[in-house]
Structure 1
Amino acid sequence: MKYSVYENIRKIRELKNLTREYVAAELKMSTSGYGKIERGDVDLTVSKLIEISKVLQVSIEFIFKFNVALFFNETKEKMKE
C-alpha cells in the first residue's frame, strides 16, 4: 500500500499535466525534496499529504484509491457518449 500512494501522487500529477517544479513550489519545498516524496524515499506525513491533495485538487481518499486503469476506462466510456 505504501508504494502505491507515492506512485498515485506521481500519476495524478502527470495526468493533470503538472510539473514536479510546480508542485514543489506550491508546497514551498525543493524539487529534489518533492521528487523524494514521489519516489517513496521519505515517509509522507499526514500534513504533507493534505497539502499535496490541495495542490493536486483531489481528496486524500482519491489519492489512496486512485487506479489509472479505472481512470482511462471511465474516460473511454465518456468518449463513447
Structure 2
Amino acid sequence: MNRKVYENIRKIRELKNLTREYVAAELKMSPSGYGKIERGDVDLTVSKLMEISKVLDVSTEFIFKFDVSLFFNDTK
C-alpha cells in the first residue's frame, strides 16, 4: 500500500486527539502492533483499513485522499 496511506492514518488520528493505545484497543490489537501499521512496517489489509477508518470515523477514501496542508495553510 502507498506509504502516504500509513502517514495519513497517523495524521488523522493525531488531529482527532486519539492515542495509539485507544485506536489499538478499539482494533483489538496491541499498541506496538498498531504502531507498526502507522510506520508502514506491516502490510495493511483492506479489511484492517476499513476497521481503522471506522475507529477514526472517516471513510477509507478520505484516508487515501487526506492532505494535511488543507488544514494548515501556510501562506505568508
TM-score (norm 2): 0.93
Q: What is the percent sequence identity of the aligned residues?
A: 88
Q: For the residues of structure 2 that align with 1:67 and 1:6, how far apart are their CA atoms?
A: 13
- The one-letter amino acid paired with 2:53 is S
Q: Which residue of 2 aligns with 1:7?
A: 7
Q: Which residue of 1 aligns with 2:49?
A: 49
Q: For the residues of structure 1 that align with 2:61 and 2:72, how far apart are their CA atoms?
A: 19
- The one-letter amino acid paired with 1:32 is S
CA RMSD of aligned residues (A): 1.0
Which structure has greater helix proportion? Answer: 1
How many residue pairs match? The answer is 73
* Structure (1 or 2) with the larger CA radius of gyration: 1
Residue 24 of structure 2 corresponds to residue 24 of structure 1: yes
Consecutive unaligned residues of structure 1, counting only runs of 5 or more, are 74-81
Structure 1 runs (4+) greater than 3 angstroms displaced: none
Q: For the residues of structure 1 that align with 2:4 and 2:70, how far apart are their CA atoms?
A: 15
TM-score (norm 1): 0.87
- The one-letter amino acid paired with 1:65 is K
Consecutive unaligned residues of structure 2, counting only runs of 5 or more, are none
